[in-house]
Amino acid sequence: MEARAVAKWIHRGPRKTRKFIELIRGCTVDEARAILEAQASPAAADVLSCLNSAVANGENNHGMDPDEMVVVTAVVDEGPRMRRLRPRARGRADIQRRPTCHITVVVSDEAGAGL
């Protein structure tokens, strides 16, 4: 059985977030939590929040045991870029693009599922 969680519109660049997704892919949930809690980045906190949500979905909706869960799939997709204006000299303006991302985490309690 698989459970998933999607965190959308995270105000963080996808490149910064992918570093932490690559660390937890294929790990057990306990190992993934330990890895993410040891990181000092706000992007790791966003990934940890999505991981906790996926575990809670598996526990409450599918009756899965959290001690047996493994991170099967973890993906960061690029979201739309927010456009902001930055005032410049002589009445001009520059466009500042602020990236967003969507984090998807899938956990499973089956041995070797999706690996």
How much is the pLDDT for 97? 96
**DSSP 3-state of 24:** helix
Using CA atoms of 22, 27, 30, 36 in order, give the dihedral in degrees to the nearest 10. -10
CA distance 90 to 46: 40
CA distance 76 to 54: 15
2-108 CATH fold = Ribosomal Protein L22; Chain A (3.90.470)
List pLDDT tens digits, range 10-47. Answer: 999 999 999 999 999 999 999 999 999 999 999 999 99
List pLDDT tens digits, range 55-78. Answer: 999 999 999 999 999 999 999 999
Region of 91 (left: φ > 0; alpha: ψ -120 to 50; beta: rest) is left
